Structure 1
C-alpha cells in the first residue's frame, strides 16, 4: 500500500508538505503543489480517511439508524437522506436496528468508533440521556424522542382522522383499524386519531383494532382475525401502507373484494402503493422532504451554521385510488 512517505519521496518534498497539499492548509508554492499532485496520481495514492478524520476532527460521514429496512418506507427515507448528504459532501452509513434496544446501542457505539460527525435516528427506545451523552449533533426522524431533540415528524393523528372520516364518507358503517406496535409513538398517534372518529359510534369497541406490527404478514393475520370476529366490517384503516397491502391480500383470501366489499386506506404514500391491485388509497406523508430536512438540519449543526428551526411537524394528505 502506498504511503504518504512514498508520495513525499516521489515528489522530492517533505511529508509535511504533502500533508499541507492534501489538507489545503498552509503555504505551498504552485510548482511544489503540482509535483505533489503528480506524485499522487502516478502512485495512485489514497489518503487514510480514518487518520485524516482524527487529524481534522471531522469524517464527513453521518449515521442513519432505522428500525426496519424491509419496510419500503425506510429505504425511501434513506434515499432522501443520502441524496441530500451527498450534495453537501457527506457519506451516509445505514444501520438497521430491527427496533431492538441492544442493537440500537450497538450501532451507536459503532458509529461513534467510526468518528461520524452526526446521527439521524428513527427510534422508539433511544432516550434523551443516551443522545446527550454522545455529544455530537443528532436528529430524530419519524418518531419524537423529546422536545429538546431536533425532530422531523408528521401529523399522524390528523392523517388517521382524515383516513377514517374518508371511509365514513364513502359509506362504510363498520371501520376496523390495523395498528402498529403499541410501543411506537406514531402508531399510537394514528390509532388515537382513528378512535377519536369512531369512539362514539354505538358499534365501536377495542375488538375492532388489530395489531399488525407495521408488517405485512402480521397484518394479514390480524385482518383475518378481525373479519372472523366481525364479518360486518366494510372499511379498514391500516397504520401504514405495508399493512394495508396485507389487508388487501387477506380480504382477497376469504373471497371478498376491495373496495366493493371492504374499502381499505393505508398511511405513508410509499411508491409501492401505486403498484398494488387495486392501487392503494393512502394518507401520503412527504417522505422525501422529511429525509431532506433531517440531513440538511444535521449538517447545519455539524458545520455550526445557524439553524432556523429544530422541530418540524409536516402535513399529510389523502391520495384517493382504487382500494376505496
Structure 2
C-alpha cells in the first residue's frame, strides 16, 4: 500500500503539506494542491481512515444528496416524499443512508467530496434535482468512484442510472388537455430555472405542442417560485388565453394573480402537490409519485453497488385535478 511519505516525495512537498491538502486546509496554494492531488491519483493513494472504512463491514452506505425548497414558506412536500421513500426502501434492503445537503459540500472539489464520502463508508449516491451548472457533482459522476442514481438529470454511464418521468411528454399532455378544454390559442408558459434539466425537457414538450396545435406562446422564467410566477402573470396573463406553469407552486401564484385581477384564464401546473387542492379553483396538473421514484432510486443504486449496469428508468405520470374533498382527512 502506498504511504503518505511516498505521495509527498512524488509531489515534491513535505508530508505535512500532503496532510493539509487531504484535510482541506485553506493555506495551501492551488499549484501545490494540484501537485498533491495529481500524486494521489497517479499513485492511487488511499488515506488510512478511508482504507479502514473500505475494509469495514459498514462500507456500503448510500448518500442522499437533496435540498428542501427554500423559496416558499409552505412545507416542501416533494422533499419529504423523496426522503420517506428512500428511507423506507433502505430499511427494506437493510442498508444505511445518510442525508447530504448541498450546503455540506458547497465549495468542495469532486476529489474532496470523494474523500469525504469514502471516509463515511459511502459507496452509493442518489442525487436529486441536479442542475446543468452542478459541475462538481457531474465530475463526481463521470469519475465512477461511486454507484450513482440521478433523479431528473439525464446522465447514464456504466455506474450511473437516470430515473425520471417522461418530462417532455408529461408537459405536453397536461398543456394539451388544458388548451383543448378551453379552445385556447395564446399561451403564456411560465418555465422553471434556466439551468434545470427538467426546464429544458418540459419546454421542449411545450414547443412540440405549439407546433402540433398551431398555437402562439410567450415563455417567461418563473424559477419554480410562487412569487415570481405571480408577478409574471400580473404582467402578461391578461393578453393570453391560458397560463401553463412548469410547477404547481407557480400555478398557485399565477392563479392568485388572476383572482386579484378579477379575470379568468385556465391555469395548469406540474407535480401534483397537495397544496393545489386548497387554491379554490381546480387546475389540471401532472401527478408524479415522488415516494415511488425515490424508493426506486435507492433500489437502483443498491443494484449498481452490487455489480449492476447503469441505465434509464422511466416512471409513470398521470393528469389529475386536485380537489379539496379528496385531500382532507
Q: TM-score, normalised by structure 2?
A: 0.69
Q: CA RMSD in A?
A: 3.1
Q: Secondary structure at the match of 1:117?
A: strand
Deviation at 1:135, TM superposition (A): 1.1
Deviation at 1:211, TM superposition (A): 0.5
1:113 maps to which of 115, 119, 128: 119
Q: In the superposition, relative to structure 1, how do residues 108 and 195 fare at CA in structure 2: closer, same or farther (>3 Å)?
A: farther
Q: In the superposition, relative to structure 1, how do residues 238 and 112 fare at CA in structure 2: closer, same or farther (>3 Å)?
A: farther
For residues 57 and 161 of structure 1, the distance between their equivalents in structure 2, rounded to whole angstroms, comes to: 48
For residues 108 and 206 of structure 2, the distance between their equivalents in structure 1, rounded to whole angstroms, comes to: 32
1:166 paired residue number = 177
1:196 paired residue number = 208
Correspondences of 1:62-81 after superposition (within 5 Å): 62-70=62-70, 71-81=76-86
1:225 maps to which of 235, 257, 272: 235
Deviation at 1:202, TM superposition (A): 6.8
Is the CA contact 1:76–1:270 (under 8 Å) kept in the aligned structure 2? Answer: no
1:91 paired residue number = 96
For residues 102 and 68 of structure 1, the distance between their equivalents in structure 2, rounded to whole angstroms, comes to: 19
Q: Using the TM superposition, name which of 279-288 and 77-86 deviates more.
A: 279-288
Q: In the superposition, relative to structure 1, how do residues 202 and 68 fare at CA in structure 2: closer, same or farther (>3 Å)?
A: same
Is the CA contact 1:267–1:284 (under 8 Å) kept in the aligned structure 2? Answer: yes
Q: In the superposition, relative to structure 1, how do residues 109 and 67 fare at CA in structure 2: closer, same or farther (>3 Å)?
A: farther
1:240 paired residue number = 247
Is the CA contact 1:64–1:121 (under 8 Å) kept in the aligned structure 2? Answer: yes
Q: In the superposition, relative to structure 1, how do residues 82 and 69 fare at CA in structure 2: closer, same or farther (>3 Å)?
A: farther
Is the CA contact 2:148–2:161 (under 8 Å) kept in the aligned structure 1? Answer: yes
Of the two, which has the highest radius of gyration? 1
Q: TM-score, normalised by structure 1?
A: 0.70
Deviation at 1:305, TM superposition (A): 5.8
Q: Secondary structure at the match of 1:94?
A: strand
For residues 202 and 69 of structure 1, the distance between their equivalents in structure 2, rounded to whole angstroms, comes to: 36
1:212 maps to which of 206, 222, 228: 222
For residues 247 and 104 of structure 1, the distance between their equivalents in structure 2, rounded to whole angstroms, comes to: 39
Correspondences of 1:25-40 after superposition (within 5 Å): none
2:165 maps to which of 154, 166, 169: 154
Deviation string 1:136-171 (CA, Å, 9 cap, x unpaired) is 211111221345521101111111111221122112
Q: Secondary structure at the match of 2:239?
A: coil
Q: Secondary structure at the match of 1:140?
A: strand
Q: Secondary structure at the match of 2:319?
A: strand
Q: Secondary structure at the match of 2:99?
A: strand
Q: In the superposition, relative to structure 1, how do residues 155 and 66 fare at CA in structure 2: closer, same or farther (>3 Å)?
A: same
Is the CA contact 2:65–2:102 (under 8 Å) kept in the aligned structure 1? Answer: yes
Correspondences of 1:1-324 after superposition (within 5 Å): 53=53, 55-56=55-56, 58-70=58-70, 71-97=76-102, 102=107, 110-122=116-128, 123-124=130-131, 125-126=134-135, 128-133=138-143, 135-146=145-156, 148=158, 149-171=160-182, 172-199=184-211, 204-205=216-217, 208-227=218-237, 231-256=238-263, 261-302=264-305, 304=306, 310-321=311-322
Q: Secondary structure at the match of 2:269?
A: strand
For residues 200 and 73 of structure 1, the distance between their equivalents in structure 2, rounded to whole angstroms, comes to: 32
Deviation at 1:55, TM superposition (A): 4.5
Deviation at 1:321, TM superposition (A): 4.5
For residues 248 and 282 of structure 1, the distance between their equivalents in structure 2, rounded to whole angstroms, comes to: 13
